[in-house]
Structure 1
Amino acid sequence: MKSVTIASSGGAMIALRVYESASPERASVVIGGAMGVRQDYYAPFAEWLAGQGFRVTTFDYRGSGESLPDTAHGGLRGFKADLFDWASDYEAVVDGAKAAMPDAPLYLLGHSLGAQLPGLLNNQSKIDGLVSIAAGSGYWRDNAPQLKRMVLYFWYVLVPLATRLYGYFPGRKLKKVGDLPAGVMLQWRKWCLNPEYSVGAEGEGARRSYARARFPVLALSITDDELMTWRGTQNLIKLYTDAPRSFERITPADLGVKRIGHFGFFRQQFSDSLWPRTVQMLERMQPLPAQAGVAGTTA
């Protein structure tokens, strides 16, 4: 693994990590993280996937993880960033990954928010496919029942008050989501209160942007996801109106475990079960060379 810093829009510097395979690399994969989740979380999975013959890139959106600049002495208080800025960061990472392997397929593996933002990217022509993991519309009526019970208090009371008081959303103090720039949190709030989520909140420009996507989208929905419902997953993927779309549902019982949840896919315990499915999903999008020294797929 090597750490790299690249420039995004407005001069923001984005910290990313590149995991290179010891064998000839079949394709490039960019992992787009969930809201409030640092790239550290994806490191074990990224290392494993690189071992299957992929060049893997992870990153932190501006104002989060290693992409919070040293000049932000007050932390996130007053830090300027919104979800369009985060989409620009995603774009910059895709541009860099494509430049490193211009003749190879480039796939996105989006966890939650990481599968929502690709519809807003301006460089969609560089993307050969999106694997969506535990992602869905954040519209509050699409939330899982246990989340729905408190989400209106969250959006109408806690988020406005805490963000105004601190100058950012202090998620670590509140043990909810994580620390986020005020602009990101307040824009996300607007999305989550709109029945059509991002395209409803942002209007025709966003709707047209999602409609421009032509890369295949394969969504993996997890039945015990405590945040995203099956309906929410369907409603998100429907925003990619002209993209080839498919779905897979998985239950903990399929794997002989008690729980997977919203974050479980990337845990080491699933390295022999869920993780190999990633390679299968990528191979269904486009035939890939076999990993060096291995006949057929790695699954």
Structure 2
Amino acid sequence: MRNSRIQIPVEGGGVVAGTLWEPAGEPHAALVIHPATATPERFYANFASFLAENGIATVTYDYRGTGGSGSPRAHRHLGMRDWMEGDVPAVAGWAAERFPGVPHLAIGHSLGGHALSLGNGTAGLAGFLLLASHAGTVKAIPDRAERFRVRLMLHLLGPALGAALGYVPARRLGLGEDIPAAAMNQWGGWARLPRYFFDDPAMRASERAARVTQPVLALGFSDDPWATPAQIDMLTGHLTAATVERRTYTPADGGVARIGHHGFLRSGVRETLWPEVVTWLSKRAQG
């Protein structure tokens, strides 16, 4: 397995920085991991390496204005929609050109899954996986303390800091990587709506999701405080033309004490859960 740094221009301006993880031999498939909000590319490195070891060339990256893809202050105008409709298709298109002779797949973690569910970056895919991806309405968070914490971050501290600084210092707030102010504002706005961005007329989300036809595997985790079964179903329920398989794993299934919203990407479930996902992806690649 080998890896190399890549840079991918995005239509409309800016560059996405990422990493290409390649098998030692010829890949039997190519895959892009579209990340979650404020989740750095390095967090996906172990899983991407595992995919490459199993013959799947894999691309990981940071959205513009996060991590290695530029300063959040310099990209303060970029919202989540810009990532979904600009960055995601740009990286998917790069992968399609780099590996023209193999089947293509994708994994969308949280926000990355939102993009795929709306048809961004799905052209030519043999299938894609939604990882802890859900309609992120704050009032649907079951735990009262967690609901208060998220509401405080999304509706008070985040917007206030974004207005003052031009970006949100999410790292200091315990939310991951720093993000542009516009991304926080759009996130907070959608999170107030009963059906998340499906209630935003500008997104035409229901219409776009209904046009997606690829096979989909939607993974959830029993201890995820945000992506509950009901909120995952709210997202996948709009994929009316796709064949959607739902799986919910418990920490016991993974042989770990906790999985939550991000734990599937940690190497503790390498021997338990990762092989099941590779099996599903490989079957889609084989047709």
* TM norm structure 2: 0.91
**Alpha-carbon distance in 2 for matches of 1:121, 1:63:** 23
- 8 Å CA contact 1:108–1:131 kept in 2: the answer is yes
Query: Cα 1:111–1:142, aligned 2, differ >3 Å: closer, same or farther?
Result: same
Match for residue 76 of structure 2 among 42, 67, 79:
79
Query: Cα 1:227–1:195, aligned 2, differ >3 Å: closer, same or farther?
Result: same
| Partner SS state of residue 77, structure 2 | coil
**Alpha-carbon distance in 1 for matches of 2:56, 2:163:** 43
- 8 Å CA contact 1:105–1:128 kept in 2: the answer is yes
User: Which residue number in structure 2 is paired with residue 295 of structure 1?
Assistant: none
- 8 Å CA contact 1:77–1:166 kept in 2: the answer is no
**Alpha-carbon distance in 2 for matches of 1:136, 1:271:** 23
**Alpha-carbon distance in 2 for matches of 1:125, 1:205:** 18
Summarize the alignment of residues 151-162 of structure 1 with structure 2, pairs less than 5 Å apart. 151-162=150-161
The percentage of aligned residue pairs carrying the same residue is: 32
Query: Cα 1:266–1:122, aligned 2, differ >3 Å: closer, same or farther?
Result: closer
Summarize the alignment of residues 165-244 of structure 1 with structure 2, pairs less than 5 Å apart. 165-203=164-202, 205-244=204-243
| Partner SS state of residue 213, structure 2 | coil
Kindly provide the amino acid, as one letter, of the partner of residue 208 in structure 1.
Answer: E
Shift of 1:138: 0.5
Query: Cα 1:79–1:150, aligned 2, differ >3 Å: closer, same or farther?
Result: closer
Summarize the alignment of residues 1-299 of structure 1 with structure 2, pairs less than 5 Å apart. 1-68=3-70, 76=73, 79-87=76-84, 88-145=86-143, 146-203=145-202, 205-287=204-286
- 8 Å CA contact 2:255–2:269 kept in 1: the answer is no
**Alpha-carbon distance in 2 for matches of 1:194, 1:225:** 20
Query: Cα 1:180–1:202, aligned 2, differ >3 Å: closer, same or farther?
Result: farther
**CA RMSD between the two structures:** 1.9
**Alpha-carbon distance in 2 for matches of 1:165, 1:53:** 47
Figure out how many residues of one structure are paired with residues of the other and give that number.
283
| Partner SS state of residue 178, structure 1 | coil
Shift of 1:202: 4.0
Deviations along 1:240-299, one digit per CA (max 9) or x if unpaired, are 2221111001111223322112111111222111111111221343536xxxxxxxxxxx
Shift of 1:203: 3.9
- 8 Å CA contact 2:256–2:268 kept in 1: the answer is no
Kindly provide the amino acid, as one letter, of the partner of residue 280 in structure 2.
Answer: M
Shift of 1:185: 0.9
Gaps of 5+ in 2: none
* TM norm structure 1: 0.88
Deviations along 1:86-107, one digit per CA (max 9) or x if unpaired, are 1211101100111122232211
Query: Cα 1:231–1:47, aligned 2, differ >3 Å: closer, same or farther?
Result: same
**Alpha-carbon distance in 2 for matches of 1:137, 1:189:** 13
User: Which residue number in structure 2 is paired with residue 297 of structure 1?
Assistant: none
**Alpha-carbon distance in 1 for matches of 2:107, 2:75:** 31
Shift of 1:187: 0.8
**Alpha-carbon distance in 1 for matches of 2:107, 2:203:** 26
Shift of 1:204: 6.0
| Partner SS state of residue 171, structure 1 | coil
| Partner SS state of residue 110, structure 1 | strand
| Partner SS state of residue 107, structure 1 | strand
Query: Cα 1:6–1:196, aligned 2, differ >3 Å: closer, same or farther?
Result: same
**Alpha-carbon distance in 1 for matches of 2:8, 2:175:** 29
Kindly provide the amino acid, as one letter, of the partner of residue 95 in structure 1.
Answer: G
- 8 Å CA contact 1:190–1:201 kept in 2: the answer is no
**Alpha-carbon distance in 2 for matches of 1:32, 1:228:** 17
> Which one has a bigger Cα radius of gyration?
1
- 8 Å CA contact 1:6–1:15 kept in 2: the answer is yes
